[in-house]
Structure 1
Amino acid sequence: MEFKDKQSIYLQIADYICEQILLGKWPAGQRIASVRDLAGMMEVNPNTVMRAYEFLQNKEIIFTKRGIGYSAEEQANERIRAYRKERFLESELPDFFRTLYMLNISMDEVSERYTKFIADTYPVIK
């Protein structure tokens, strides 16, 4: 995995774990990758992965079972969406608005492109 400079590596790993849960690759209640396995896969120190796991435990997204390992919480999807929505609205949206303002892009243009993006990317299956 290629990491970005803007965000701590452990938070990027936490985002990766959240994506795997949201995509259904690590369903609620089932075991997720061990600290060592994920560290090897991502080519990072196991302590960095452990920090990501502790962060997600504090957010009640994953939990540990002694002797078994880590699993996704039953309410993980809802908690991930709430956490990511809050982070987006507080951190990323102001930058987005600033860019719109500086480039003189109207909300109508954004809305049109958003609608087209949804139609092209997630077509309705009939």
Structure 2
Amino acid sequence: MEFRDKQAIYLQIAEYVSEQVLLGRWNAGDRIPSVRELAAELEVNPNTVMRTYEFLSQQGVIANKRGIGYFPADDATDKIRSFRREQFLANDLPIFFKNLTLLGIDLREIEQRYEQFAAMQSTPQTPVQP
């Protein structure tokens, strides 16, 4: 994982964990990696991962089953989407709109490119043969 300078590492790890849940890689009822396992995988201090897990527990995204490990909450996907949606609308969208205005990009062009992107996401990708 490549860490960015402008955000605390534990929050970047929280985004990573949340993304795994949203992608369906870690589902409710599935144990997620332990603090030590994830710390080793991401090459960070276990205390940083512990801080991430405490943060996500406070948000109700994951739950600790004593002696067993951490698990995504039953409604983790909904909570993550809701939180990320609000963050996007409050922080990212104004910057996006500013860039559209500065660069003279029309919303119709954005719509066309989004449709192309969505079509690429829905079609299976075939590996490139050497």
- Normalising by structure 1, we get a TM-score of 0.92
Match of 1:12 in 2: 12
Point out where structure 2 has 5 or more consecutive residues left out of the alignment: 125-130
**TM-superposed deviation, 1:8:** 1.4
Q: SS at 2:74's partner residue? A: coil
- Aligned equivalents of 2:41 and 2:66: distance in 1? 23
Matches within 5 A, 1:19-98: 19-98=19-98
Distance 1:89 1:58 in 2: 22
How far the C-alpha of 1:121 sits from its partner, in A, is 2.2
SS of alignment partner, residue 105 of structure 1: coil
The whole-number CA distance in structure 2 between the counterparts of 1:54 and 1:41 is: 19
Identity of aligned residues (%): 54
Give the Cα–Cα distance (whole angstroms) in 2 for the partners of residues 44 and 116 of structure 1: 38
Are 1:3 and 2:16 matched, yes or no? no
> Runs (4+) of structure 1 moved beyond 2 Å?
none
Match of 1:100 in 2: 100
1:24 and 1:96 mapped to 2: Cα distance?
28
Letter in 1 for 2:76: A
Note the alpha carbon deviations across 1:84-108, whole angstroms, 9 max, x for none: 1111111111111111111011111
Alpha-carbon distance, 1:61 to partner = 0.5
Per the alignment, residue 127 of structure 2 pairs with none
RMSD, aligned α-carbons: 1.3
Q: Any idea what the Cα deviations from partners look like across 1:56-107, whole Å, max 9, x if unmatched?
A: 1111000001111111000011111111111111111111111111101111
The separation in 1 between residues aligned to 2:74 and 2:34, in whole angstroms, is: 19
Q: What TM-score, normalized to structure 2?
A: 0.90
State the Cα distance separating 1:6 from its structure 2 match: 2.3
